Chains A and B, each alone.
Chain A
């Protein structure tokens, strides 16, 4: 009798001890985890959240660095000025235009590059090394290289393109200046896109492709019915990253046209207000609007294309 009553008690005790040890351990794990990420969180917030709050605060003042003592509270007047100014909408439209065109072209070319890199058996190292050069090169250098390439004085593009006159000034009007900017942007970032897509392509099972082939699917059908659906999350993550990157376009425009011929982007406009004209009030309002528009675009892309954010965040 005594035996049977003692035994369950023993078991319960053991279990309780286990639980206590486990929760002690998980508590210390929790503490260690938070300690280890604390410096990273602090740094990331120091340079983003804090200045952003400051921008929010400054954006309701009429505040110019050239006359700092005349700072006065103006409520939402800066936002009103920005949102009713056609320049704001022109630059935003311009930026969206650049984003849509460059990402679409990059996606197509990047995918073609990824297919080639996936299939190629020779010179793999050479190709991967070369593809990293545009990725690693400074954007400003890419901007200069293409600006001079398109130059009618010293470039080669006019001579090489059969349908363009030798003296054609690419930077003389809106359309061709935008094309030159986009070429530089696309040249530099397509390799990045193709590497992301290559990683997605590597995850498509060869067996499945073989099975589709045996079942008589054409190349085109295999591409649309097997390959693309299976690398959907890789494509979406690549598009999300590149679209938001393209929306922030600044370096190429600064170097190639400095915003001439209406090629200004929203980032460039904000920069000009703050750094060149010292208008911190309206500049801050533009900063807040820029931030909000990036959030909006990210939200739209995630919702419309149903991007798997867990995949983007890499949660296994």
Chain B
């Protein structure tokens, strides 16, 4: 590589870091501005002299019952949806990667269509249906749509991983007298675990991020997830949004994402790219 190229790459890398981290740094900085400073107006990236709040905003946000409840809702709903979705997707992806059967194309096309589905066009009928079934404003009322909409991503990611697995081992197991099902459960599942794990992370991100279902299919803190709770978070004065409090809430809601990203960076990149491009 020539020197100019090297310099270009270094500058490019610095720009990428700036792009990704600046808004994150900003929201963290904002969360340390005091609420008085926000009300009076406190332009600038960093808290002004004497306009800092220390940990006060975090203390306030974590003392807010509705916010805490929404964290609990988000964690519970996202984890359950992830677990169920990944189990169902694993079965489907195994069939797609390994078996010849009628309707394979149909499943793949359906998954593609659903990945592109305009979610908002469903909230009206779902709102109506969920009220009839009595699951409006409950955890299952959100878990079901989250499962449906994460299935395409999970199925793609998993079937891409499953294609890479050394299938001779499955045949070896079958030669040794295992049925198709036993070969699947005892040989393939342990081999496929890393892929399943990646699919789970991506599914969790989707559920954690969802906003449309979160605001349309809930009405109280009983099931309201974090993004919806943040958007309703107006504080005591509805005409002056408590920006710094909101920022503290936003930082808290981002912590799980950052932890997951730090721990599993490699797996996520592999999953994302294998999910959309043949690798």
Contact = CB atoms under 8 A, between A and B. Distances in A.
Interface of A: 26, 28-34, 36-37, 39-41, 43-48, 50-52, 54-55, 58, 65, 112-113, 115-117, 119-120, 122-123, 125-142, 144-146, 148-149, 151-156, 158-160, 166, 187, 190-192, 195-196, 198-200, 202-203, 233-234, 237-238, 240-241, 244-245, 247-248, 250-251, 254-255, 267-268, 270-271, 273-275, 280, 283-284, 286-288, 290-291, 294, 298, 309, 311-316
Interface string B149-167: 1011001100110010000
B149 A128 contact: no
Nearest to B1: A119
Given A40-B151, A116-B12, A58 B124 contact: yes
Q: Main SS of the interface on chain A?
A: helix
A135 B104 CA distance: 31
21 contacts: A28-B180, A33-B103, A40-B91, A40-B111, A54-B125, A54-B128, A65-B128, A119-B1, A130-B16, A138-B257, A141-B27, A144-B247, A145-B24, A154-B42, A154-B43, A158-B43, A241-B276, A254-B231, A280-B124, A284-B124, A298-B116
Nearest to B147: A43
B277 A200 contact: yes
Interface in B119-160: 119-129, 144-145, 147-149, 151-152, 155-156, 159-160
Given A132-B261, A133-B21, A275-B123, 6 more contacts: A34-B103, A40-B89, A133-B20, A196-B272, A203-B279, A240-B116
A145 B33 contact: no
B124 A270 contact: yes
Nearest to B157: A314
B23 A146 contact: yes
Contacts, number: 342
A151 B41 CA distance: 10
A281 B16 CA distance: 47
Contact of B26 (A140, A145, A254, A315): A145
B95 A141 contact: no
B187 interface: no
Contacts of A195: 269, 272-273
Interface stretch (B60-68, B190-198, B210-218): B210-218
Given A48-B122, A128-B269, A291-B121, A123 B44 contact: no
